[in-house]
Amino acid sequence: MAETFGGGAAMKVGTVYLVGAGPGDPGLLTLRGLECLQRADLVLYDGLVGPWVLQHTRAQAVRTFRGESRAARALQQREIIDQIIAAARAGQTVVRLKGGDPLVFGRGGEEAAALTEAGIPFEIVPGITAAVAAGAYAGISLTHRQHASAVAFITGHEDPTKPDPVLDYAPLARFPGTLVFYMGLHRLPQITRSLRDSGLDPTTPAAVLCRVTTPAQTTLTGTLATIADLAATAGIAPPSLLVLGECVRDRGPLVWYERRPLFGLSIGIPRAAEQGAELVPQLLELGADPLLMPVLEIAPPPDWQLVDAVLDRLSQYHWLVFTSVNGVDFLLRRLLERGGDLRALGNLRLAAIGDGTAAALARWHLRADVVPQVFRAEALAAALAPRVAGQNVLWARASRGRDVLPQLLSQAGAHLDQLVVYQNRDVAEWPAELHDRLARQPLDWVCLSSPSMARGVARLCPHWTTPHAAPAEAPPAPRFASLSPVTSAAALEVGLPIAVEAPSATWAALFDAVAHAPARPRNSAGA
């Protein structure tokens, strides 16, 4: 940090990082960009930044929305610069997070110049610019050696304050390579007409690429003569790129992203927020557009008195049973918080209801002795029954859930104690932005992982339980996928029709079932 002096005392001035976030896929953020986000006090991000990138920061995040909406006023560039400078002068570490690269049509140069003038230290962190990412994700080799020895990045939207436009289409028409126009969708007819009038062959292959590197990516191909009409008919929207050149012709064999199994599907995950976030990377890898729908809040017990008392007498038990990842984490964290360590479990055998819970134990360097092949309480009880007769069993559980395990283990002759190590609490209502998102972009699927998730969705979205009685203007209900027969039964009980059920109770199996589900006919609802 630099120092400024005023009022007789030195004050630290924060550093500003102008960071390129890439064009949408959070995996394209650079390692240096990640480091900056993790150290930031304030993040000012623009409207083209992919939302999942912000999961990497605990800083206050403010959207510098460039355009009007019901929820946000448009900020002028001068206002953005003033916010950056004010925060830095207050000693904050500021990340100005920009879609693509800060210096490729990103106005990062203007912001850096203003910071220099203000005496604010800064660093520019490059990002993957949209054209480069678009070529890779749409299967277009911008400089294929057989077609193009050069590539030109051109703005389709020049600075409106310039007295005269500087683009000369005649040399662009003669350019010996690939042309990529940024921010030119609203001027697509004028751009293509100017290029044709300047001598570019009307049959030149052309592509419009929309929302590249995101599950909403759309690729439209045609020719210089047809692409503007094709884009208008298809309703293509910004942010989009226009690519012109022979490289477009060879796109087919290079396409990979749009062939991912869940590409383009919007999938709701109703879980506690922390648990849902763990599934986001997996869904993005499959090409889906995930939406977290928190129906539960996970919280510690109201007090730890009962838990602490049991931890003091763990040596009296023979088995410790876990039926959730949360049960593992809450109990073992409490053990360490009290000054204990894993040696306290030395006399215990461990049971886990499924692979996910067993993996949670493994993260604590513990191995489950029993994991049933079918991830249900009934199967866990059956696997334990021959081993627990006459033994003391401790079940670390949530404040609510199915009570099958106590009954079955008692019948097997076990002495079972139940210990609530965390609470499940219903979310009273979803935030307004989640409701707005569901109204603006209906979901294709909602994946239900337990009976409580099914009941929570029915409670928070009652119109999904009776789709035919919903208002005419309401978006269609999604299809529902279930993790297990128990979940399916609970969903049907509250009026949520199940379209597919996972063959085994794992998220991978559930997502695979969704990927192989028959396409829903247009204008249909429910299953």
- For 21-37, write each residue's pLDDT tens digit: 999 999 999 999 999 99
Q: What's the pLDDT tens digit per position in 315-362?
A: 999 999 999 999 999 999 999 999 999 999 999 999 999 888 999 999
In this predicted model, what pLDDT tens digit does every residue of 246-267 receive, in sequence order?
A: 999 988 889 999 999 999 999 9
Rounded average pLDDT over 276-302: 92
Note the pLDDT of residue 273.
78
Does residue 490 register a pLDDT over 70?
yes
Two structure tokens written together for 330: 């809450």
Q: How far apart are CA 101 and CA 166, in angstroms?
A: 23
pLDDT above 80 (res 527) = no
Give every CB contact of residue 51 below 8 A, 6+ residues apart in sequence. Answer: none
pLDDT score recorded for residue 471: 63
149 by Cβ neighbours in 10 Å (0-12 / 13-18 / 19+) ranks as: exposed
Question: Which position has the higher pLDDT, 273 or 450?
Answer: 450
Residue 3 scores a pLDDT above 80: no
At residue 376, the pLDDT reads 84
Residue 64, pLDDT score: 81
**3-state class (DSSP) for residue 526:** coil
Structure tokens at 24: 């949408």
Instruction: Identify the structural domains of the chain with CATH numbers, from first to last.
Output: 2-127 (3.40.1010.10), 131-259 (3.30.950.10), 266-294+429-515 (3.40.50.10090), 299-426 (3.40.50.10090)
Residue 177 and residue 148: Cα distance in Å, rounded? 4
- Give the pLDDT confidence of 200-213 residue by residue, as tens digits: 999 999 999 999 99
Where does 334-382 show beta strands of DSSP type E? 349-352
Q: pLDDT of 353-364, one tens digit each? A: 988 899 999 999
Report the pLDDT value the prediction gives residue 63, as an integer from 0 to 100. Answer: 84
* Averaged pLDDT, 401-415: 89
Given pLDDT bands bounded at 50, 70 and 90, which one contains residue 68? very low
Q: Which pLDDT value is given to residue 278?
A: 84
Across 443-472, b (16+ Cβ under 10 Å) vs e yields bbbbbbbbbbbbbbbbebbeebbebeebee
Structure tokens at 87: 């925060």
Q: At 1, is the pLDDT very low, low, confident or very high (cuts 50, 70, 90)?
A: low
pLDDT value of residue 195: 97
Mean of pLDDT values over 109-124: 96
Cα dihedral 293→425→324→388 (10° resolution):
-150
pLDDT at 29: 96
pLDDT above 80 (res 71):
no
Q: What is the pLDDT of residue 522?
A: 45
For a pLDDT cut of 70, what percent of the chain falls above it? 92
When pLDDT is cut at 50, 70 and 90, the band that residue 74 belongs to is low
- Distance from first CA to last CA of the chain, Å, rounded? 58
Give pLDDT, residue 228.
97
What band does 70 get if pLDDT is binned at 50, 70 and 90?
very low
Contact 144, 168 (CB under 8 A): no
Q: Is 385 or 159 the better-scoring residue by pLDDT?
A: 385
According to the 3-state scheme, what is the secondary structure of 57-113? CCCEEEECCCCCCCCCCCCCHHHHHHHHHHHHHCCCCEEEEECECCCCCCCHHHHHH
- pLDDT beyond 80 at 164: no
Q: Answer whether residue 425 shows pLDDT above 60.
A: yes
Token output for 94: 């500021």
Whole-number pLDDT of residue 481: 98
pLDDT band at 146 (very low <50, low <70, confident <90, very high): confident
- pLDDT at position 396 is 96
500 close to 517: Cβ distance less than 8 angstroms: yes
Lowest-confidence region among 47-51, 160-164, 508-512: 160-164
Which segment of 55-69, 307-321, 406-420, 448-462 scores lowest on mean pLDDT? 55-69
